[in-house]
């Protein structure tokens, strides 16, 4: 009997810095910028979304299993965001974010939240944020394990600090390190292995 020959192709996993004002899809009937304007690899799809007015890390893959594991909230897969907010949150506001915020679709899971002493080193946004002379702002680093619609923005607004700019910095162990807005590259094998290990973590 002839040996069975596997025809499975290697899984493609790409990290991409989605710029501000780009849709997280490959086509748009209205002609707005999409992933197709930047990513030339065929057969990959975004494992998650970022809003039109948000920026940062997208993982694109041709693996349905990886996509499911990254997106299913039962697996508590972490996502880390850098968020510029209006005014300086006090400890009470930060504690609310850390313990859970009541939103219209239920209470959020506890989040890791850090008030950054200095702004992160990020490229300027092509469309400047609104600036109010008498209203200070600051940056938070937030890690959540859910992916509700506009969740981080809704959380900061709920504690009185609307988001001015939102950048997803990391998905699990994969970060934006080494990229600029609009750039992408395939993960190395060690990076892919770490992402798989993170994605195959615990389930509730």
User: What are the residue ranges spanned by the domains of the chain?
Assistant: 13-72+174-199, 78-171
What local confidence, expressed as pLDDT, does residue 92 receive?
96
In CATH terms, 78-171 corresponds, of 3.40.30.10, 3.50.50.60, 3.40.190.10, 3.30.70.1560, to 3.30.70.1560
Q: Tell me, what's the pLDDT at 9?
A: 54
CATH classification for the domain delimited by 13-72+174-199, as one of 3.10.129.10, 3.90.180.10, 3.60.21.10, 3.30.70.580: 3.30.70.580
**pLDDT for the residue 1:** 43
Answer yes or no: same fold for 13-72+174-199 and 78-171: yes
41-81 pLDDT, tens digit per residue, is 999 999 989 999 999 999 999 999 999 999 888 888 899 99
- 51, 102, 105, 193: which one is catalytic? 51
Q: What residues of the chain score a pLDDT lower than 70?
A: 1-10, 202-204
* Bridge partners (DSSP) listed for residue 65: none
The verdict on whether 28 is a catalytic residue reads: no
Q: What are phi and psi of 93, to 5 degrees?
A: -65, -40
Through-space distance between the first and last CA atoms of the chain, rounded to whole angstroms:
45
Taking the C-alpha atoms of residue 124 and residue 91, their distance in angstroms, rounded to an integer, is 29
């Amino acid at each position: 009997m002839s040996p069975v020959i596997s025809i499975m192709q290697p899984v493609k996993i790409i990290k991409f810095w989605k710029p501000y004002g780009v849709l997280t899809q490959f086509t748009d009937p209205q002609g707005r910028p999409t992933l197709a304007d930047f990513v030339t690899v065929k057969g990959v799809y975004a494992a998650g979304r970022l809003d039109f007015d948000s920026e940062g890390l997208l993982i694109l893959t041709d693996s349905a299993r990886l996509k499911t594991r990254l997106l299913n909230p039962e697996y508590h897969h972490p996502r880390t965001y850098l968020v510029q907010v209006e005014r300086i949150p006090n400890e009470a506001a930060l504690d609310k974010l850390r313990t859970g915020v009541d939103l219209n679709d239920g209470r959020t899971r506890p989040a890791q939240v850090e008030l950054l002493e200095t702004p992160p080193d990020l490229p300027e946004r092509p469309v400047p944020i609104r600036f109010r002379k008498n209203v200070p702002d600051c940056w938070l680093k937030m890690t959540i394990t859910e992916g509700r619609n506009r969740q981080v923005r809704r959380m900061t607004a709920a504690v009185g600090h609307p988001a001015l700019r939102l950048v997803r910095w990391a998905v699990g162990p994969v970060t934006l390190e080494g990229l600029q807005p609009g750039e992408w590259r395939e993960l190395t094998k060690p990076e892919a292995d770490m992402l798989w290990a993170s994605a195959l973590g615990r389930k509730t």
